Amino acid sequence: DTAVSQTPKYLVTQMGNDKSIKCEQNLGHDTMYWYKQDSKKFLKIMFSYNNKELIINETVPNRFSPKSPDKAHLNLHINSLELGDSAVYFCASSIGGDPTEAFFGQGTRLTVV
């Protein structure tokens, strides 16, 4: 069974479109994250949710809106896509509180044309 799963794996879309990336974890974790990996492979946190509540919101444009319907899901909706949004987006989950490792999904490669 996949621990953290993201869909879709690849997403190619035109500028100005709105798209969503879905993430689900079956590990029973209470904290989920979205990370962005740019073309130089830099990884940076975007959002963190704990028990469906937003904990971290880094300096991310308002066009990015995470939604957590329950603690097993954290979706990422992006409005008015721009060329600079092209990246690989990783979902992750962990047990909140103690410093345990985070488990990552396979990533979604978003290409905006």
Number of chain positions touching other proteins (CB under 8 A): 28
Tokens of 63: 């066009």
100 touching other proteins, by CB under 8 A: yes
* Environment class of 106 (CB within 10 Å of its CB; exposed 0-12, middle 13-18, buried 19+): middle
CA atoms within 13 A on the CB side of 100: 14
Amino acid identity for residue 42 in this structure: F
Span from 12-20, 60-68, 78-86, 105-113 in contact with other proteins (CB under 8 A): 105-113
Residue type, 33: Y
Compute the least distance from the CB of residue 56 to other proteins, in Å: 6
CA distance 24 to 5: 5
For the segment 4-43, give every residue that binds other proteins (CB under 8 A).
Answer: 4, 31, 33, 40-43
Q: Which of residues 42-81 bind other proteins (CB under 8 A)?
A: 42-45, 48, 50, 55-56
Which stretches of the chain bind other proteins, using CB under 8 A? Answer: 4, 31, 33, 40-45, 48, 50, 55-56, 90, 92, 94-97, 99-107
